[in-house]
């Protein structure tokens, strides 16, 4: 089977670890040929670039800036991606007959590319719904359903519906995502929507007690305290003001240490807090190389997830998988619309509280201070193997 993968992820190789490279490698392992279109931004000083690997051909399509920029520039360049990707399909894959077109959101502007390949080759199309735009932008106050921003919203909402229409199957990350999608898009036939969660090639990345001490000493972390770690993006979706409130409430907790590792548009707010308050039981670090990051995570005791309380869409952050493969229990502080907290609690590997309830956060921290059963970490890893294994997800898509 020839698979065309369209994505905004900057994929230069399928040999790295991540939710998309892991999935594409799984296709290759089963004898399928994978063809990838992904962007290289103007700021990368890149032209269209062709990369060939065993079982995969990657074309890097030159685009405008679509990450770490303002909403206007991102919106314009997102719209322009579609004709550029369609041109690349004709230029680089004109002699390939595709059986499957696979594409995650964001963006929602691949409709014409997908429609072109389906018509040309008779291919099936599979949408992996990773976020729900433009509603997420409305939730964060970047767009509105009224006024000038309302016009932009209506344009992208129309593009969103067209993408759903052209997709033969829509894979959602969780039951709450399925429910939300069908409720707000009643024209979608329920039979073409299914659960297709974030997944990885499962590896046991936990550390021994001795290895944990070595990693903590390497990065100047305490060896005698419970370490709560947040690792990942630090942007508006994470609700950084609430994260700061949570940290303020724990500045004098002698038995706990809080580690924040990441980068993003809201990183400066956290940096200002650390510079002004100078907490002694906390540390802020920029992003680390993948291997170092994984070992750092595994040296901690509890992984944390934060989502802004304003969200009405059910987000499901992929960073959960990093904690699970390190055998860490998870504390999720989120809006009530996502079901990630319910899955964590029902799965027996962590805790949940709402991300506007500081008292509830403090209560959970106090509860964890009484002790963490090693069974929680094992339960996290077991749930990962059973539910978020890339082998399972690949079979869902192929079926």
> What is the rounded radius of gyration, in angstroms, for the C-alpha atoms of the chain?
21
Give the per-residue pLDDT at 46. 54
One fold for 2-196 and 209-386: yes
Residue boundaries of the structural domains of the chain: 2-196, 209-386
The rounded distance, in Å, linking the Cα atoms of 163 and 6 is 13
For 324-357, write each residue's pLDDT tens digit. Answer: 999 999 999 999 999 999 999 999 999 999 999 9
φ and ψ at residue 234, rounded to 5 degrees = -125, 80
Q: Provide the CATH topology of domain 209-386.
A: Rossmann fold (3.40.50)
Percent of the chain with pLDDT over 90: 80
On the question of a cis peptide bond just before residue 106, with omega within 30 degrees of 0, the verdict is yes
Identify the architecture of domain 2-196 in CATH: 3-Layer(aba) Sandwich (3.40)
Mean pLDDT along residues 199-206: 96
Q: Which residues contact 236 (CB under 8 A, 6 or more apart)?
A: 140, 142, 265, 266, 308
The rounded distance, in Å, linking the Cα atoms of 6 and 98 is 13
Give the per-residue pLDDT at 100. 97
Give the per-residue pLDDT at 50. 84
Q: Which residues contact 72 (CB under 8 A, 6 or more apart)?
A: none
Give the per-residue pLDDT at 286. 87
Mean pLDDT along residues 141-166: 93
pTM for this prediction: 0.91
Average pLDDT, the chain: 92
For 78-110, write each residue's pLDDT tens digit. Answer: 777 889 999 999 999 999 999 999 999 988 889
For 280-297, write each residue's pLDDT tens digit. Answer: 999 999 878 888 889 999
φ and ψ at residue 301, rounded to 5 degrees = -110, -35
Judge contact between 332 and 325, C-beta under 8 A.
Answer: no
Mean pLDDT along residues 255-276: 94
For 32-73, write each residue's pLDDT tens digit. Answer: 999 999 988 765 555 677 888 888 999 998 876 666 566 666
The rounded distance, in Å, linking the Cα atoms of 173 and 176 is 8
């Amino acid at each position: 089977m020839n698979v065309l993968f369209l994505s905004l992820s900057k994929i230069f190789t399928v040999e790295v670890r991540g939710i998309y490279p892991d999935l594409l490698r799984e296709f290759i392992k089963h004898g399928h040929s994978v063809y990838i279109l992904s962007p290289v931004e103007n700021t990368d000083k890149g032209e269209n670039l062709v990369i060939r690997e065993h079982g995969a051909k990657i074309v890097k399509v030159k685009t405008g800036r679509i990450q770490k920029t303002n909403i206007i520039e991102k919106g314009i360049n997102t719209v322009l991606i579609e004709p550029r990707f369609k041109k690349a399909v004709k230029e680089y894959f004109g002699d390939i007959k595709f059986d499957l077109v696979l594409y995650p959101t964001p963006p929602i502007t691949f409709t014409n590319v997908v429609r072109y390949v389906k018509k040309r080759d008779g291919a099936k199309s599979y949408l992996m719904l990773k976020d729900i735009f433009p509603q997420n932008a409305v939730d964060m106050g970047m767009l509105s359903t009224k006024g000038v921003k309302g016009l932009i919203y209506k344009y992208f909402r129309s593009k969103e519906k067209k993408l759903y229409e052209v997709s033969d199957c829509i894979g959602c990350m969780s039951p709450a995502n399925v429910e939300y999608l069908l409720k707000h898009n009643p024209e979608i036939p329920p039979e073409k929507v299914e659960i297709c969660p974030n997944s990885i090639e499962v590896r046991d990345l936990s550390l021994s007690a001795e290895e944990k001490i070595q990693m903590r000493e390497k990065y100047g972390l305490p060896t005698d305290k419970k370490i709560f770690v947040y690792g990942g993006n630090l942007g508006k979706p994470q609700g950084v003001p609430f994260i700061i409130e949570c940290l303020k409430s724990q500045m004098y907790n002698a038995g706990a240490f809080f580690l924040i590792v990441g980068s993003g548009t809201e990183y400066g707010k956290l940096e200002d807090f650390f510079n002004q308050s100078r907490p002694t039981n906390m540390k802020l670090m920029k992003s680390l190389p993948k291997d170092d990051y994984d070992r750092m995570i595994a040296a901690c005791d509890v992984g944390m997830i934060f989502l802004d309380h304003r969200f009405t869409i059910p987000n499901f952050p992929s960073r959960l998988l990093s904690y699970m493969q390190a055998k860490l229990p998870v504390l999720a502080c989120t809006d009530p619309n996502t079901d990630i907290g319910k899955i964590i609690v029902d799965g027996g590997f962590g805790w949940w509280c709402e991300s506007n309830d500081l008292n509830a956060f403090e209560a959970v921290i106090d509860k964890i201070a009484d002790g963490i059963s090693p069974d929680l970490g094992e339960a996290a890893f077991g749930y990962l193997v059973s539910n978020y294994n890339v082998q399972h997800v690949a079979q869902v898509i192929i079926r």
